[in-house]
Structure 1
Amino acid sequence: MKKLIAGVVLGVGLTAMAHGAGDPEAGEANAAVCASCHGEAGAKPIMGTYPKLTGLGEKYLYRQLVAVKTGERQIVEMTGILDNLSDDDLQDLAAYYNEQDMTVQQADPDLVDAGQALYRGGNMASGVPACSGCHSPQGKGNEPAGYPRLGGQNAEYIQKQLQAYRDGERAGTQNASIMMDVAAKLTDSEIEAVSSYLSGLN
């Protein structure tokens, strides 16, 4: 029994190391190419439909970088950008961006109540779960599970991704099935409201 427990503890420890061993300083050296779209330190993308990369969670960022590089997640604007980066380089990038501060925006006052209600309580009538259950009440995500921070993210980007999940355009990556199931039950107005609310949540 002791050997079994020791094995489990060791396995968990190694898994944590695998997704938390990136070197932020090394990542910064490779981040220059990202700045042309995502802004300095990944904090101010040139378009609202591009994501902020700051503080999303190292595990989530690493998984997404791997998915983009392998073609599992296809983003036309990123075609070929990661081709020359090693797995260590991707871990370093994830570590660097995770250490940067997320800047919070101003949510549309007219959408705050509806967005907050959906984020915190879901929609029991349509079967939409509360977003806060996975992404935390403050929108800070869940690093061990690899669920990203959403608080402060660009509203346009969140809206685009929820629509992509709903339409089946963002599928195949880890946890995509969870989000596809949730998004399938969301209306356009709910997506707009929760996206706006999240942009101002911290």
Structure 2
Amino acid sequence: MRLTPHQICRSRLAGIAFLLPGILLSHGVAQAQAVPLAERLQLCAGCHNPDGNSIILENPKLSGLDAGYIVRQLRDFKSGIRKSPVMSTIIPMVDEKEFPALAEFFSKQQRKPGVAVDAKRAAQGKEIYDEGIDSSAVPACSGCHNDDGSGTDKYPRIGGQNSAYVIQQLMNFKSGERANDVKAVMRAVAKRMNEKDIRAVAEYMVTLKGEPE
């Protein structure tokens, strides 16, 4: 039986939790305590790999993301604005003072691009990424995330991102489950996309390097 991403992360973290001094339990509730960066990174590696290039396709690659963007996402997880069954169990363990150092570390890691599984679907995704969809008023992804998928401090680097993760996030924006996007831009865009569009553009994004040639 194939484990879900949540189950994989929880099984990995189970062995780590009792080894790291920064994880304290009080009546079964995780308590935040700042620890050295190297120790905290062991916790992150359980789901995102030591270099931030998660091999669990439903989890995001943190490598090469803008540090400010990572900090904002961590704060949103901490406050509950952004929801995740995995992060909701992890983020209480992490002191907010640790966010900048964690973000800086992952921002400096090299992103490893992936390979499209379905070349035809990726080609359809490229058209959406570069040109948008006129019939449903979907703007080109490149307008905010750049031609190479490198992103900005406001809009994340999506080049080389795990396709299953991209699909889930776009579906979450579409349904409104995720609502921490800048000026609700992604919710407006995703609502105009059907699942076929979403899967196509995710298939193309995984091939982008996310950095200038």
Q: CA deviation at 1:82?
A: 2.3
Structure 2 alignment gaps of length 5 or more: 1-35
Structure 1 alignment gaps of length 5 or more: 1-25
Q: Which amino acid aligns with 2:163?
A: A
1:53 aligns with 2:27: no
2:208 corresponds to which residue? 201
What does 1:52-201 correspond to in 2, within 5 Å?
52-107=61-116, 108-143=118-153, 146-171=154-179, 173-175=180-182, 177-201=184-208
Q: CA deviation at 1:29?
A: 4.3
Aligned CA distance change for structure 1 residues 83 and 118 (closer, same or farther; 3 Å): same
Task: Please tell me whether the aligned partners of residues 56 and 148 of structure 1 are also in contact (alpha carbons under 8 angstroms).
Answer: yes
Task: Please tell me whether the aligned partners of residues 27 and 95 of structure 1 are also in contact (alpha carbons under 8 angstroms).
Answer: no
Q: Which amino acid aligns with 2:41?
A: A
Q: Which amino acid aligns with 2:144?
A: C
Q: 1:39 aligns with which of 45, 49, 52?
A: 49
Alpha-carbon separation, structure 1, partners of 2:114 and 2:89: 31
Q: Percent identity?
A: 35
Q: Secondary structure at the match of 2:51?
A: helix
Q: CA deviation at 1:87?
A: 2.9
Q: 2:40 aligns with which of 21, 27, 30?
A: 30
Task: Please tell me whether the aligned partners of residues 57 and 162 of structure 2 are also in contact (alpha carbons under 8 angstroms).
Answer: yes
Aligned CA distance change for structure 1 residues 183 and 174 (closer, same or farther; 3 Å): closer
Q: Which amino acid aligns with 1:120?
A: D
Alpha-carbon separation, structure 1, partners of 2:183 and 2:42: 29
Tell me: higher relative CO, structure 1 or 2? Use CA pairs within 8 A at least 6 residues apart.
1
Aligned CA distance change for structure 1 residues 28 and 121 (closer, same or farther; 3 Å): farther
Q: Secondary structure at the match of 2:91?
A: coil
Q: CA deviation at 1:44?
A: 2.4
How many equivalent pairs are there? 173
What does 1:7-26 correspond to in 2, within 5 Å?
none
Aligned CA distance change for structure 1 residues 181 and 89 (closer, same or farther; 3 Å): same
Task: Please tell me whether the aligned partners of residues 171 and 190 of structure 2 are also in contact (alpha carbons under 8 angstroms).
Answer: yes
CA deviation profile, 1:17-67 (whole Å, cap 9, x unmatched)? xxxxxxxxx64442110111111221123x211111111111111100111
1:4 corresponds to which residue? none
CA deviation profile, 1:68-112 (whole Å, cap 9, x unmatched)? 111111111122422243333011111111110110011121112
Q: Secondary structure at the match of 1:110?
A: helix
RMSD in angstroms over aligned alpha carbons?
1.4
Q: CA deviation at 1:122?
A: 0.3
Task: Please tell me whether the aligned partners of residues 27 and 94 of structure 1 are also in contact (alpha carbons under 8 angstroms).
Answer: no
Task: Please tell me whether the aligned partners of residues 149 and 205 of structure 2 are also in contact (alpha carbons under 8 angstroms).
Answer: yes
Q: Which amino acid aligns with 1:129?
A: P
Q: CA deviation at 1:182?
A: 0.1
Q: Which amino acid aligns with 1:49?
A: E
TM-score after normalising by structure 1 = 0.81
